[in-house]
Chain A
Amino acid sequence: MGRELFLSGNEACALAAYDSGCLFASGYPGTPSTEILENLGTYNSVNTSWATNEKVALELCIGASFAGRRSLAVMKHVGVNVAADPLMTLSYTGIKGGLVIVTCDDPGMHSSQNEQDNRHYALFAKIPMLEPSSSAEVYNFLTAAFYISEKFDTPVLFRLTTRICHSHSRVFPGKKSELPASGFTINNQKYVMIPAWARMRHVFIEKRLALLEKFSCSSKFNIFEKGAGSRLIITSGISYQYVRENFINLPVLKLGMTWPFPAEKVRKISCRFKEVMCVEELDPFLENACLVSGVNNIIKRPKNFYIGELNPERVKALLVNFKDFIKPVKQNIPAARPPALCRGCPHAFMFEIFRDYGLIVAGDIGCYTLGTLSPYNALHACIDMGASIPVGLALRAASAGKQKNKIISVIGDSTFFHSGITGLIDAVYNKRSGLIVILDNRSTAMTGGQDHPGTGKTLPGNISVRLDIEKIVRACGVNRVFQVDPFKKTETAAVIKKSLALKEIVVIIATRECIIYGPQKR
């Protein structure tokens, strides 16, 4: 027997990419995806980077793929929204070197602002999707994903969830492949998506989907496990483990390749049973695919199951009582402790000022979103990366009276680089007015202190140019820029106070390194 390792899904993903000869990988940190690139970054031969955002990450991978390199784009579920623009047309061009997009969904929203089900992106972009159910499958499926990508000239969506990413289980790694670079081949009708050529590629896509569906039906990703009873369970990903945890003998059709849906295979197996039930996390994706495929003996899950993460007890309640599991109420049980800003966190000083001035804060994505909780209660809107600037400025413009001068935007350093700059340029160009506070802790702290363009270091730990936020802000056309130290609270408060009523864009940069990751970096 070969090597046996105990790896998280994320570690297995990185190892599989390395072993598959992937030489280019990029992404943006985001729970639960972050450790994939961190692990890949430990291999010197792989060009690994934190891109400024997910769109840039995917575009980098597209370039590498067009040069014939296997490449991996890694992001959390909401990151795919940012990368959706290149993704939709990448489906048209197809690839040269295998290209896999890893989407790490977060059912239950352990560390996210929504629990969107990214399986819909496979359907939407008309690309194949694989859903492993353990670390071993992450390894095996990713190796296969590169093969599928190259065989069918398509990007592949590799869908993980928090419970797969962050669970450890055994992995049996295979051999490492070495692939020669094949270089770029000029082929405008494939790589230049002007309407005339894109129309031809759309015809190709529909043919590709039909071929992929055939492949999926006969592939080893989709396995029928015989069992006792008149009800067939169709499941995928982590849900499979919860079904098996409860019922070892039920007949199960386990789908590893969930798009294109293996309709023929599902129909053939389903008609041998009295009824069929899909056990899946979040949206009724498999359920709907079954219905569209003509599986008419399906029992739909109660709608409760569209919400939140599954677990063994919810799956048991679904299969036994066709109901959701509700934790019994018991007296005198302490509540789970919510997360909070760390003791000594520089952001905390800023949120104390915002609170004491009674400000209305349009916030952003990062540790500082916790400023919305007690004892600060000083962050009042949070949508997506970079939203604080446009949302805050328009909130201010559309408000009246005394409230107007109390509205500010607050954004972190990494988020500013990710997608804050475009909002700032818009603000200057359109002559908006208001205060924008950039909380610069020299770190992507929420996800574990990753580097970004403002830290002067790259993902593998190499020294790089440190982009200066103030210079960028000034280059965007902002004339009033103040540097403050959050630890000097009185002075900082005074700068904020005098900035509130100014009729132009004012940017305050509050710089103090993260109390946790700052000292680790030195």
Chain B
Amino acid sequence: MAPKKDNTRSVLITGLGGQGIILAGNIISSALFSKGFDVKKSEVHGMSQRGGSVESHIRFGRTVYSPLIPYGCADYLIALDENEKKRLHRQLLPGGSIIFLPSENRTALPSPRTLNVYLSAVFLRRLGFSKNDISGYMSRIVKKKYIDINNKAIEAAFRNSASF
């Protein structure tokens, strides 16, 4: 997981206000930052919180310049909402990956509100992060009373993400 000399990689997280997009972005970016990558993360808070579309852009590599992902250059699209997935699909590079859990499969989650942590864990697992590492980053960010339920979501991600 040492920083490579390759180009910057980009992760776009999307969903609706209230789904915890910013929290997912914080978990993922702090995980990447702790591995020594140069990381930039950008999102807009404020009015868009009120149930509107929310995007978090994360970029990592050796040296990152723009915090915003250039149009059509996302390597990964993590979508918490079906409509947002469709809307931002064109931000994905050809051959890029989508990380999404269709609503009919969400019964695996300990609670629908843990979808953000679940998908973050699926993504980080792919990059080679361990369950314990992810749990550690999550625990530092979420409120104490929500740590247990989110650990269950991380467990679920490690059980199920083979199907992605």
Q: Interface on A for B, CB 8 Å cutoff?
A: 6, 31-32, 110-111, 134, 162-163, 166-170, 238, 241-242, 244-246, 311-313, 316, 325, 327-328, 330, 332-342, 367, 370, 446-448
Contact = CB atoms under 8 A, between A and B. Distances in A.
A333 B45 contact: no
Interface string B61-98: 00011111111000000000001101101100000000
10 closest Cβ contacts across the A-B interface? A111-B46, A31-B46, A339-B52, A339-B50, A167-B67, A245-B66, A312-B70, A167-B42, A111-B47, A336-B53
Interface stretch (B33-41, B100-108, B120-128, B151-159): B33-41
Contact of B71 (A169, A327, A337, A446): A327
A110 B46 contact: yes
12 contacts: A110-B46, A110-B48, A168-B42, A169-B38, A169-B40, A170-B33, A312-B69, A325-B71, A336-B87, A340-B51, A342-B50, A370-B50
B16 interface: yes
A168 B68 contact: no
Given A168-B29, A241-B65, A325-B71, A337 B83 contact: yes
B139 interface: no
Given A31-B46, A312-B68, A338 B52 contact: yes
A334 B90 CA distance: 11
A297 B160 CA distance: 61
Contacts of B110: none
Contacts, number: 117
A43 to B, nearest CB: 20
Interface of B: 16-17, 29-30, 33, 38-53, 64-71, 83-84, 86-87, 89-90
A6 B39 CA distance: 8
Contacts of A110: 44, 46-48
A339 B86 contact: no
State the majority secondary structure of interface residues on A.
loop
A335 B87 contact: yes
A31 B46 CA distance: 6
Contacts of A370: 47, 50
B137 to A, nearest CB: 11
Contacts of B29: 6, 168
B149 to A, nearest CB: 18
B47 A446 contact: yes
Nearest to A108: B44
Nearest to A170: B38
B4 to A, nearest CB: 17
Contact of B70 (A244, A245, A334, A338): A245
A317 to B, nearest CB: 10
Nearest to B51: A340
Nearest to A242: B66
Nearest to B47: A111
B3 to A, nearest CB: 12
Nearest to B14: A336
Nearest to B40: A169
